[in-house]
Structure 1
C-alpha cells in the first residue's frame, strides 16, 4: 500500500515540475522591443561591400523606418544593423526582397542561398529587381498614402496584374538549381504618383540576368505559368478585351532532329471597349494574330538568351536522357521548334450595363431597329 502511494506522489511531483517548465516564458521579447522589417533591399557593385536596407513599418511615424548596413557578407551587414539598432531586429516577417539590377546582372546566388538557409527568413517572400537609383527607390515614400506597403504591388489581393510576374524566394532557388527551367523576375523603378513603376520582367539564366521583356510579353509569360486571368489586351487603337479565363495545353515530341512542341492557348474574353464598332469575329481574329505574333517574338528571344524562362524543359523531362537534360538550355532549347496556336472565345458582353449602345452604328439607334 505504501509503495503505491509513493508512486502516486512521485508522478504528481513529476507532472507539477513539467507544468512549471511548460509555462515558462524566459525567452520571449516584448513586441515593443522588436523591429520587424517587411522589405529587404540588397545591392552589391563588383568587389564593393553588400549594401543592405531594411524597411520597417512605423505606426508612430505614419510611414516606414529604414535601417542600413554594409559589409562583405550579407550576414555581417545584418549584424551591423542589429548592433546599431536600439531594438531587436527580427527577420521573420520579411515579405519582399529587392535586388538592384547591377547585382542581378552579376550574380544573385549568394543572396538567394542566404535567404533560403537563414532560419529566421521565410522562403515564401517575393523577389523583385530594382532598376535605376537603388537607394532612392528603397527610400521612396508616398505622402498621400503613408500606410501603403511595398508588398501590396505584388499581392494578388491588391495591386498585382498579369502584366507583372510573381516570383517567390523558394521558386528562385529551385530555378537556379534546375537543368530544365529558368525564370522571369519583375523589374521596378521609382514611381512618381505611386511607389513603383513596373518595367517588365528580367529574364534570368540560372543566377544571372541576361535580358528583359516588356509588360506585353510578360502577359504571354504569365499565360504559360497559368497566371493570366484578369489581364487586358488592346486589340486595336480603340478596342480592348478583358481576359476572363485562360487555359493552355502542350504536345511534345522528340525526333531525330531534336525536340518540338505545340502549345494551344484558349482564351475566353469579354469586350471591354469597342469604339471602332468591330464585329466579334474581327476582334477575335485581330486578338489571335496579335498574341501569336507576341508569343513567337518572346520564344525567339528566349532561344537567343538560352534561358528557358517558360519552363518548357519540364515537359520533356520524362523523355530526355540524363545527358540531354544537362545540356537542355545550352544545346536543345535554342534549336527547339515551338508553335503556339491561340483560340479566342468571345463571351456575351456582360462587362457592359448595356450592349445595345455599343452595337449600334452611327446614325442609328436601338429604337429604330
Structure 2
C-alpha cells in the first residue's frame, strides 16, 4: 500500500512538472512585426490591398521608447508595407511573405478604409478583425478621402507615426470618434447604419517635402448597411454629435441682434435626451438638447454681469444649436435616409411590439419620422473680465 502511495505521489509530481513548463508557446518581441496602423483599399481589379504601418525595431531604445531620427518625422520610426489578395485574410498572407517577422496586431492604434473600399462595403473586413484574437477592437476607425495607403505613408513632423497622429486627433473628440467595436455595433444595430470619421491629407507647408504632413479629420462618412453612401462636413457632424449625445467640445460664435460685435462661447457641459412617441401609427422623436457655456470672447459693448444681456446671449446660443441640429436632420434624415442617430434603438426599447411590426421597413419609415427639437443654453461663466476689454467705460452698455 505504501509503494502504491509513493508511486501515485511521484506520478502527481511528474504530471505537474510537465504542466509547469510553459514556455513552449512564447512569442518573443524580437520575432514580431508590430503593426500600429492598418489601411484597407480596393484595387482597380477588385482585389483588397492591405497596408500596414510597422514599428522599426532599430528605432526602439532603452525603456521601450522611440529614438527620434532624421528630421524628427515619423518615417524614422515606422515603415509601410502592403499586400494584396481577394480578402483581407489573403492580403495579410501576401504581406507576411514580405516580412521576416510574424505579424502581430496587438498594438494596432488605427484602421483606415480607403474611400473606394468603403463604398464597396466594409462588413467582411470588420468581421475578420472581430474574429482575430490579436486585433484590438479599441482601435480607432476612419475613412480616407482617397486611399488609406496614402495616409499611412505620410511622415508627420509632430508625432512618431501617421497612426499616432490619427489616434491623437480621434482622442481629442473635436469631431466624431469611432472604434472598431463601435462600428461593429452600429452595423449590427436595429438601423443598420453607421457614421465614421473621414480624414483628408493636409497640404504640406511651403518648403516641406510632399509627405511631410498629416491627415486630419475633416468630414464624416455615412454608411447604410455596410456601404458608404455619402459624407457630411464638419458643421453637420457637430449636429450629429448633438443628436447622439456625444458632443464634448464646441465653440459657438453668435452676433446678437442689433450689435456689430460677436460673442464666442465654449462648451462646459452638454446633454441630449431622445424622447420617443408613438401615437396612432405615427412615429415622433422629441430631442431635448441642453448646453452650459463659458463666454471666452466678448466683441460687443455689453456688460455681461447684467442678466438682461446674458439671457439674450443664451437665446442666441440656443438658436444656433437648434439650427445645427435641424440642418443635420435635413441632410442625413431627409436626403441620405440613414439613421445614424440611434432613433431605431430608442423606439425599439420604448415600443418593442410596434417596432417589431415595422423593423423590416424602417429605412422607409425613418425619413418621415417627425422630429421636434427643443434646445436650451445657459451661460454659467461670463469670463474673467465681465466688461468688454479695451473699451472706454462710458461706451460700455450697463
Shared fold by TM > 0.5? yes
2:163 corresponding residue in structure 1: 150
- For residues 290-329 of structure 1, the C-alpha deviation after alignment (integer angstroms, 9 at most, x for no partner) is 1111111111222221200111111110313423122112
CA distance in 1, matches of 2:195, 2:170: 19
| CA spacing shift, 1:126–1:360, aligned 2, 3 Å | closer
Distance in 2 (alpha carbons) for counterparts of 1:322 and 1:208 = 25
Instruction: Tell me what 1:132 maps to.
Output: 146
* In structure 1, C-alpha distance between the alignment counterparts of 2:57 and 2:160, rounded to whole Å: 8
Matched, 1:77 2:110: no
**Is contact 2:195–2:221 with CA below 8 Å preserved after alignment?**
yes
Partner-residue secondary structure (3-state), 1:70: strand
Q: Is the aligned partner of 1:322 residue 2:356? A: yes
TM-score (structure 2 length as normaliser):
0.82
Distance 1:119 1:246 in 2: 37
Picking from 256, 261, 277, the partner of 2:285 is: 261
Q: In structure 1, what is the equivalent of residue 115 of structure 2?
A: 101
Q: Is the 8 A contact 2:115 2:147 kept in 1?
A: no
Gaps of 5+ in 1: none
Structure 1 outlier segments of 4+, above 4 Å? none
Deviation at 1:188, TM superposition (A): 0.2
- Matched with 2:228 is 209
Cross-structure match for 1:250: 274
1:181–1:314 CA contact under 8 A, matched in 2? no
Gaps of at least 5 residues in structure 2 are 60-75, 205-212, 256-260, 303-308
Provide the aligned length of Structure 1 versus Structure 2.
Answer: 358
Q: Is the 8 A contact 2:112 2:148 kept in 1?
A: no
Report the RMSD for the aligned CA atoms in angstroms.
2.5
Match of 1:165 in 2: 176
Q: Give the C-alpha shift of residue 342 in structure 1.
A: 0.8
Which residue in 1 is equivalent to 2:196?
A: 185
User: Would you say 1:54 and 2:88 are equivalent positions?
Assistant: no
Does 2:241 match 1:222?
A: yes
Partner Cα distance (1:361, 1:32) in 2 = 62
Partners of 1:180 and 1:311 within 8 A in 2: yes
**Aligned partner of residue 92 in structure 1, secondary structure:** coil
CA deviations over 1:146-190 (Å, ceiling 9, x no partner): 5245245345xx763443211122222222232335221000011
Distance 1:187 1:76 in 2: 26
- 1:299 matches 2:313: no
